[in-house]
Structure 1
Amino acid sequence: AQYLEKNTTRRNADAINDAVNDIFLTDAVPSGYVFSKQDTDWKAPLEGIADQEFAAMGEAMLLPLIERAEQDQTERTGSALDNPIEDSALTVGVQQRYWEGQQVSRLIHHVLSTRQVIDKKDGKEYWRPARASDFILLVKRRAYLPQFERALREAGLAYDSSRIGGLLNTLEIDDLIALLTVLVSPRHDLPLAQVLRSPIFSFTEQQMQLLSSHVGDIQSQHQAQTPSSWWDALQSSFDAPIQKA
């Protein structure tokens, strides 16, 4: 078989092709990585908005890097309910990916409101407004997908993620699992506390402290051998908002 070199694409616009060449033709690429300059035969459809630069040449945008900022360890004061411990999973790397997701979300909104894309119908190319389904995010590792998903969700952008178990790992599902656990075992304090603090009941920190102190009052009054639970405190509380729960 005869090997024919073909370093020409028909898919990439000029700006995208130039960006690829700029990346792979630098000294930072290992010498053992063979790469030849790429050319393109891509042409924008003549009809529509081809007079605009992004339509005629394409676009490649480089977002600014997120600076790595180490977290300050502040001295804790008060009780655990006054100043809850932050999520241990909220590391610097996780926070960086979340900020990157916010940048990407803003860029997507910008493109949606200011750009059109090429589509094809009945074998003919035409320009149409960009929509969310035109975008795809490529990440190096799946470990940080939740942070990008969170940023997209907060930006009001619908998405379909390839992350395994993404739905089951959401806070809403965690709250429902905790609620089902309480229904099966009401005196299981930890899931009960989670349910009370969730949007289902929206208990404040002050209400949680009041309920916690009431547990101790019940225990001291009755001197029961079996420790009192938060469920017992809920049942015997005279506080109207707590009784509503």
Structure 2
Amino acid sequence: MDQLTDALRDLDPPAPPSSVDLDAVVRRAHRHRRRTRVLTAVTVAVAVAVTAMTVPLVTDRHRDRDQGQGPNRGQGSQSAMPRMGCVPLGRSAEPPGTDAAQAAARLDARKAAELTAALDGPLRQALPGATLVDAASCEPGFAFRAHRSLDGVVMFNAVVVVDDGAGSTQLTVQLNRRPLPPEHDCTGAGGVPTCVREVEEDGTIMYRASRAAGGGGLMLVVDRDRPDGVHVQVTLRNYYIPGSLVVTLTRPGLPLDETALTALARIEGLTM
């Protein structure tokens, strides 16, 4: 600042008097630079904090809710394993559109409640003592939800996070209507079986498959197609794949086998 002032004094001819206070200008510039640095630091700190809270938010919520519930709680070997998460979707508003569309939505909601009631008892019997959390609301229990396409085709599904004390898994039950599937080969490369096909007495077609995801990840899939067009699919997996595309294990093995999933797919109340 002193050098700038001296240079102005040495001008020949001297510069005319200025009404600008150079000292004040420089001070304002310094204050602006300090404010910019502070604002940037705060913004970065908030972003880091939000990111750090967002990742474990749902997991910690389940951990607090489930503490002390279910078998084998508090085992150190399981507490370090990542847990299956959920994504709260919030409440859906009354669907816009015609009276017919709103009437269809009310019928879908009523049917979804019936499906939830039909699955609840058998699922809890198959998983005694386990904690069930709805993956779409992060609330205890679970619920079927309807998804209707623009051309009126409807499907129902329930996605459940199951914690039995040994870890967490994700169970998905889906219902829709479709034609009976054509027979497909259940033999993979080298003659390794990839699925099992069964035809029941009434013509119902059942496919059961076990799919390894690597790193201990496993998914069981049961598809049951009835002659009336109702398709029920039950899947269970013990892993998820984050943005890094690396299989992240959430439980060693699965709490239910293909026989148990088949029994769930055969529940009479799971119909449309």
TM superposition score normalised by structure 1: 0.22
Larger Rg belongs to: 2
Q: Which one has more relative contact order, counting CA pairs under 8 Å at least 6 apart?
A: 2
**Higher helix proportion:** 1
